[in-house]
Amino acid sequence: MVDEARAFALTAHGDQRYGARPYAFHLDAVAELLSPYGADAQVIGYLHDVVEDTTVSEFDIRQRFGELIADCVGLLTDSPGSSRAERKAATYARLALVNGVTELALVVKAADRLANVRSCVADQRHRLWEVYRQEHPAFRRAAYRRGLCEPLWTELDALLRAPARPAGSEPPTTHGTTSADR
């Protein structure tokens, strides 16, 4: 089902770009981070942006991939809002209430955020890195669950604790890159 989700997501995203790269680069990076967490996590990783960024509906996901996958994708889809801060605040409030089997969505969200922060560091996108750094306390309060995906959080926390780098300076070393999310 992982290959099916990848093909479905790439078709849905079409020629969308994630920064300067094809969208597949970001989705593959997220799915790679999720490989230790199982096939369902990877499927959700490939599908995490399709409802938010394409014409695919949560109903479409439910019909094709089942209840758990659709519920998790729904949790990962940003709430409407007039600004990033408004959208993220609503989304984080929803994530803070997640428990049980849909906590898998929180693993995917941590992997997505880590892939985005890695990309900011590797591509020296300092302003976006700073946005993630400022959002991190609220994001962590909403999405972190002790023992759920500690390696993802350990790296994410470390990357966002690093001091901001002036433009043109050497970024810290990371494992791989992706383009950043909105």
Structural domains of the chain, with CATH: 2-161 (1.10.3210.10)
Kindly give the parts of the chain with pLDDT less than 70: 163-182
User: What's the gap between Cα 90 and its chain centre?
Assistant: 16
Q: Is-contact 119 178, C-beta < 8 A?
A: yes
Dihedral angle sign, alpha carbons of residues 56, 51, 116, 105: negative
Q: Taking the model in full, what pTM does it have?
A: 0.88
Who's near 62: CB < 8 A, 6+ residues apart?
Answer: 69, 70
What is the pLDDT at residue 20?
87
What is the pLDDT at residue 32?
98
